[in-house]
Amino acid sequence: MATSLTTSPAEAAAHLRRGELVAFPTETVYGLGADALQPDAVRRIFEAKGRPADNPLIVHVCRRKQIKQVAARVPPAGQQLLNEFVPGPLTLILPKHDHLPSVVTAGLETVGVRIPRLSRTQSFLEACGTPVPAPSANQSGRPSPTSWEAVEDDLGGRIDCILRGGRTDAGVESTVVDCTTDPVAVLRPGAIPVESLRQVLGTVQGASPEGEAAPRSPGTRHRHYAPSARVRLVDTPSEVAPGEDHAYVGLDAPAQACALGRVHVEEDVQAYAHDLFHIFRTCDEKEIEVIYAQTVSAEGMGRALNDRLRRAAAR
């Protein structure tokens, strides 16, 4: 299959309405979408990515009133989060609407809903005129794509169209919050820090730095976000072993930079998160064997960053 590239949201949306698979940019990572109301098209998302069928998809819409088409209701805490953070990098888990095909939610009675903030995404969703379930547009298990080129590398020839955009802003995925429980629970830390959620709601479960009280999202059970290189976590760059096929990424500069194949010193946690998946992919292209990655303090975006680092390092 030839994958067409376009910069036109209307053209990309026309592919999707025909039952085809379309990758598109968002402010977090690129997504791989299909028409929620065409179950065969949604099934092809799982095939193209090699995604386990038990891992539910996040449904993307462009307007709040469309939430009624996919969710049965929005509990009060969910409404508060909607008012404060949406559009933006937040996914609300809500009771599912009966009409939404069950392939979208992998048979669950709940549905993840997100309204992205990026204007190109909004134009695309508007032109689609239908809810768009979309996981990250990577081969299952690989780092999420933060550029259209990364989508093409992973899925070129397996999907119908890529809506081109720039490098994504956040570089890590949306924060997933289960709004069907009281208090609400963070299932996946992401681009909106739990501290911001707490400022609005007071109590939020499952996001302590030490571990999670809440049950995880199905998709967070597996090893994830991993490059082919081995990822080793370090507290400080002094733990890095020199080697031409070794790389380092972190906030502190290593003393022995010249003895490493690649060194990425990031300005702050935001920049680190923005660059991480891109660096993973670059290291694979350069045939790096071991990536030493410095963990950061578990606050703000640091929580999502550490989560992605730990998963990439898990074997």
Residue 290, binding choice from ligand TXA, Mg ion, none, Cβ under 5 to 8 Å by partner class: none
Q: Report the candidate in 151, 152, 188, 145 with the shortest Cα–Cα distance to residue 170.
A: 145
Q: What distance in Å separates the CA atoms of residue 75 and residue 187, rounded to the nearest whole number?
A: 17
Q: Which is nearer to ligand TXA, 134 or 269 (CB)?
A: 134
Rg (CA), the chain: 19
Q: Judged by CB, which is closer to ligand TXA: 89, or 261?
A: 89
If DSSP codes are grouped into helix, strand and coil, which group holds residue 3? Answer: coil
Binding residues for ligand TXA restricted to 205-224, rule: CB under 6 A: 217-220
CA distances to 103, 255, 308 from 228, rounded to whole Å, are 30, 26, 15
Rule CB under 5 A: say whether 26 interacts with Mg ion.
no
8-state DSSP, 153: H
Contact 275, 264 (CB under 8 A): yes
To ligand TXA, the closest distance from the beta carbon of 258 in angstroms equals 37
If residue 280 lies in a helix (H) or strand (E), which one and from where to where?
A: helix 269-285
Q: State yes or no: residue 66 binds Mg ion (CB under 5 A).
A: no
- Find how far residue 311's CA is from the centre of its chain: 13
Q: Which does 108 bind (CB under 5 to 8 A by kind): ligand TXA, Mg ion, none?
A: ligand TXA
Q: Given the rule CB under 6 A, which of 63-71, 104-112, 148-156, 205-213 is the region that contacts ligand TXA?
A: 104-112
Under the binding rule (CB under 6 A), the answer on residue 28 touching ligand TXA is: yes
CB 156 within 8 A of CB 3: yes
Answer yes or no whether residue 136 interacts with Mg ion by CB under 5 A. yes
Of 183 and 218, which CB lies nearer to ligand TXA in the complex structure?
A: 218
Comparison of 136 and 168: residue with beta carbon closer to Mg ion: 136
Q: In the bound complex, what is the minimum distance in angstroms from residue 195's beta carbon to ligand TXA?
A: 19
Segment interacting with Mg ion (CB under 5 A) among 20-28, 59-67, 75-83, 131-139: 131-139
174 binds, among Mg ion, ligand TXA, none (CB under 5 to 8 A by kind): ligand TXA
Q: Which stretch binds ligand TXA (CB under 6 A): 8-16, 64-72, 133-141, 151-159?
A: 133-141
How many binding residues for Mg ion (CB under 5 A)?
A: 1
Cα gap 62→50, rounded to integer Å: 27
Rounded CA gap, 25 and 17, in Å? 18
Whole-angstrom distance, CA of residue 178 vs CA of residue 167 = 29
Q: What is the DSSP letter of 234?
A: E
Is 136 a binding residue for ligand TXA by CB under 6 A? The answer is yes
Using CB positions, name the residue nearest to ligand TXA. Answer: 219
**Per CB under 6 A, 147 contacts ligand TXA:** no
3-state secondary structure of 31: strand
Alpha-carbon dihedral angle through residues 180, 186, 191, 197, given to the nearest 10 degrees: 80
Residues in contact with Mg ion by CB under 5 A are: 136
Per CB under 6 A, residues contacting ligand TXA are 26, 28-29, 31, 55-58, 89, 91, 93, 105, 108, 110-112, 114, 134-136, 173-174, 176, 187-188, 217-220
